[in-house]
Chains A and B, each alone.
Chain A
Amino acid sequence: MSSHAPATPLGIDPAGTVHSSHEHHELGFWRRYIFSTDHKVIGLQFLFTGLVMLLFGGLMAMAIRWQLAYPWTEMPLVGKILFPETGGVATPEGYTMLFTMHGTLMIFFVIIPLLTGTFGNFLIPLMLGAPDMAFPRLNMIGYWFWWPGIVLILLSFGAEGGGPAAGWTSYPPLSTIETAAPGSLQGQNLWLLSLTFVGVSSMMGAINYVTTIVKMRAPGMTYFRMPLSIWGLFISALLQLFALPVLTAAGFMQLFDRVLDTGFFTPTNTTINGLTPEAGELAAGGHPLLWQHLFWFYSHPAVYIMVLPAMGFASDILSVNARKPIFGYKPMAYSMAGIAGLGFIVWGHHMFMSGMNPAVGLVFMTATVLIAMPSAVKVFNWLGTLWGSSIRLNTSMLFALAFVSMFIIGGLSGIWMACTAVDIYIHDTYIIVAHFHYVVFAGSVLAIFGALYHWFPKMFGRMMNETLGKIHFVGTFIFTNGVFYMMHQLGIAGLMRRTADPYAYETFAHMQPMNQFISICAFCLLFWQVFFVINFFGSMFLGKRVGRNPWKACSLEWVAPSPPGHGNFDRELAVHHGPYEYGVPGQREDYCPQTVEIDAAPTPVEEPVLA
């Protein structure tokens, strides 16, 4: 326990930055920073690794955009690295590899680890008032199980025939028959093994999150006093627990098909390039649709894993900076559960055109459109939260507001593709690309930025620079829309995704100028992240030091020192009410931390906030 903390009415040390752990025991460098069992260090490990992978995935997106804007011309900067044999000009098989790996990296190595790995680890114990995760060692192993996945996926670039190139969905038989694509040689095996490691890593995380949330809440922290960030992380962890085993099993089935010549997904009498297949494949007796069912049984819930925590972060940031309780707390929690529950019975909407029985499509359609209902409830409640509030337009708030604005677009465009008849035309066109990038990039990634600006003071004990942050926000917001908005119209005009050079078709020949506009916006979007990188790393060392609660927020993580020491809290915690008690009438301050009873709230002792 900190020795120099005078007992204030809140029991909070006004000096703020207390490293109480150091008085207990000193850990060596390796145990403290590398093989740490501290949830905060593991969270930061996920953060830094995830940001590096974000850069890789982003560069791949740029290569894709170059090819779509200026097909078969020399790609500047990354071209020589990606396509050394052709002097920097993309090859058709290289292009298929690029979008396969862009999708794979962004989903499994960026978005899911940043949302659940980083913020799940960092926030869950802090927001619940727990000293650490339920299984700290499992938590550490979880992070280190991610690394074989990273190594294998990076190695696959150098595999014979190049990286995997069957799309991030990896549909057989393209992915299972070695002669079907260059990337289906060794590259696909590495892809499957990599995803297995990533899955095990996520599983360990999910077990930890669920156990911690169920068993380690501080006294008084009932389920319905948890911040919505925790609800988002809790529900997405449950989704992972139920869905991931299916993907892992399916991945092994595909690996067996490839390595042991089993025939789960290979139909009888498949010939590739006119070659008679091997004896085993002749009578394989499998079915390609089986993979699609298994894959989407995981990967559709995975879409909600990629957005539910972001919804939680946005809710928390909105409420703190609107200085007003979240509107409809319980409907917000129930709607997340509703999205997750429905999320398990809608996977077939990826398969409307697949040859699946069309009657089944009708069932999947009805379930799918209904997901828009809880999503709408969330949007209305966010608007309700802002109504009658007093908004602080700081950087994290701007990103949270942008999340709401962008999620409206991504959510609404989903209705078209949920509808079987309309989907006949728009399936696999750019309107789909627009839709999922509005949810996952303009939604989740912007929410991640907002969450980083919001929780950075807790992570590092310093503020990020607000001016740089606002510059970062404005450019990111403009260029994000510049990149993704017109993809809707391209899709409505029929433009197909995953085509290396669409302009050879009469239908698409006139679309190159629009694609050039989109690509230029994409290059600017990536370049603009320089402001974030400078701000993020600069503020880590030069940012203004802050106390425990710079945003004057109610939830428990702001009761801990910034950054919290080992064991997180330097006092006993008792939770008296929900996490969003802002603007309570008759109080001297406009917020009541969860540790303070409302009717007896004294003036919280805390230094002022910057604008």
Chain B
Amino acid sequence: MKFNLFRVFVVLLFLAVPVLGVWTFVDAERWKMWFPEGVTTYAGEIDFLFDIILWMVAITFVGTEFLLVWAIWRFSKKEDGKVTYTHGNHTLEVVWSAVPALLLIFIAFSQMGAWSTIKMNFPDEGPYTVDAPMMEVIAGQFDWWVRYPDEEGNFRGEDVIDVPFDIHVPVNTKVVFRLKSRDVLHSFFVPKFRLKQDAVPGMSIPVWFEATETGSYDLICAELCGWGHYKMAGRVHVLEEQEYEDWLSQKRSELYAND
């Protein structure tokens, strides 16, 4: 009898894995343990791709875990009972190799569009391009320096604008910038933008985004960069176009006033 009670307990224990597992995912949004609201043109696409995989994973997870729980319950009933003597089944092996393989290849191909949009296809028209970026973001221990070019578009010289920690960009504009590091590896991560890119010393990496909502957002260093890594915090301020122009001209006039 003692053994039987334990068997029930074990089955409940293994059953708790899919039950609690699904419940915590369903309720995560209520606890604010889910995606923060996305505010770029491609954020929705990334969330959608995540959700496609989430559904496939959830179905597989629940299915296999329930099969496991059922098998434990059903087949631990009797000890030393009769078992089905089999070494396998060729058809089953083919099916459960081919079906996952096809699904996985589908998943991989479904990713390629968004990936190339974000990391490979940079805007070639509009105010900012890879060759004429809006700004340079230079990461270093443990700060972010944002450099806006002078009116001729040069990033060297007396009239460039250097702003520490705070990035100002206009809303609804394809912003292209170059990401650099002056010392070790860092990573440019704005959760609400769904954007992450490592900054590598010796490289000048183009990055683009188009913010769809004004506001201030956390910029986080996402690659270990030393003792101060945890507090290498910046802010991205997405402004209305006019506000941005005003901010930029104010910065320029401050610069000229200092001369």
Contacts and interface: CB of A to CB of B under 8 A. Distances in A.
Contacts of B76: 390-393
B119 A358 contact: yes
Nearest to A366: B108
A542 interface: no
Interface in A161-194: 165-167, 171-174, 177, 180-182
B72 A391 contact: yes
A383 B67 contact: yes
B33 interface: yes
Contacts of B72: 386, 391, 393, 401
Interface stretch (A213-221, A231-239, A558-566, A580-588): A580-588
Interface in B117-133: 118-120
A93 B141 CA distance: 13
Contacts of B118: 421, 424
Contacts of A174: 184-185, 224-226
B6 A288 contact: no
Interface string A345-367: 00000000111001101100110
B64 A383 contact: yes
Interface stretch (B153-161, B162-170, B194-202, B247-255): B194-202
Given A377-B96, A478-B13, A387 B65 contact: no
B233 to A, nearest CB: 6
Interface residues of A, number: 118
Interface string B7-41: 10110011001001100110010011111100000
A405 B63 CA distance: 12
Given A328-B93, A421-B46, A489 B53 contact: no
A428 interface: yes
A499 B191 contact: no
B119 A390 contact: no
Contacts of A504: 230-231, 233
The 3 closest A-B pairs by CB, nearest first: A267-B202, A388-B84, A93-B227
Interface string B80-110: 1111111111001100110011001101100
Contacts of B191: 425, 494, 507
Given A323-B80, A330-B88, 8 more contacts: A267-B203, A322-B75, A325-B87, A331-B88, A387-B84, A393-B6, A393-B72, A416-B50
A213 B209 CA distance: 55
B86 A422 contact: no
Contact of B7 (A393, A474, A583): A393
B24 A489 contact: yes
16 contacts: A92-B228, A92-B231, A272-B183, A288-B200, A328-B87, A329-B87, A377-B93, A387-B71, A409-B61, A419-B107, A489-B28, A493-B34, A500-B230, A507-B36, A507-B220, A590-B83
Interface in A498-550: 498-502, 504-507, 510-511, 514
Interface stretch (A146-154, A242-250, A368-376): A368-376
Contact of B198 (A353, A366, A401): A353
B105 A369 contact: yes
Contacts of A481: 17, 20
Interface string A585-604: 10000100000000000000
A165 B227 contact: yes
A365 B57 CA distance: 17
A490 B230 CA distance: 16
Nearest to B61: A412
Contacts of A37: none
Given A354-B198, A355-B200, A404-B68, A388 B28 contact: no
Interface string A269-281: 1111100000000
Contacts of A474: 9, 13
Contacts, number: 338
A485 interface: yes
B183 A422 contact: no
A327 B85 CA distance: 10
Contacts of B203: 267, 355
Nearest to A174: B184
A408 B65 contact: yes
Nearest to A361: B115
Contacts of A584: 85
A303 B204 CA distance: 32
Contacts of B80: 323, 390, 590
Contacts of B36: 493-494, 507
A413 interface: yes
B120 A358 contact: yes
B213 interface: no
Which of the four size classes fits the interface of chain B? 35 or more
A358 B222 contact: no
A486 interface: yes
A398 B205 CA distance: 50
Contacts of B230: 92, 95, 498-502, 504
Nearest to A486: B24
A507 B218 contact: yes
Contact of A428 (B84, B194, B223): B223
Nearest to A481: B17
Contact of B50 (A329, A355, A422): A422
Contacts of B182: 270-271
A590 B80 CA distance: 8
Interface in A70-86: none
A498 B187 contact: no
Contacts of A329: 87-88
A177 B185 CA distance: 12
Interface in B214-250: 218, 220, 222-231, 233
A405 B65 contact: yes
B79 interface: yes
A171 B199 CA distance: 13
B96 A493 contact: no
A395 to B, nearest CB: 11
B231 to A, nearest CB: 6
Q: Which of A95, A413, A506, A514 has the most CB of B within 10 A?
A: A506
B105 A506 contact: no
Interface in A397-456: 398, 401-402, 404-405, 408-409, 412-413, 415-416, 418-422, 424-428
A402 B14 CA distance: 8
A177 B184 contact: yes
B65 to A, nearest CB: 6
B49 A421 contact: yes
Contacts of A424: 46, 115, 118-119, 194-196
Contacts of A273: 141, 183
B75 A373 contact: no
Q: Which of A381, A388, A511 has the most CB of B within 10 A?
A: A388
B66 to A, nearest CB: 10
A428 B187 contact: yes
A372 B17 contact: no
Contacts of B256: none
Interface string A258-275: 000000000111111100
A174 B231 CA distance: 17
B185 A493 contact: no
Nearest to B88: A328
Nearest to B119: A358
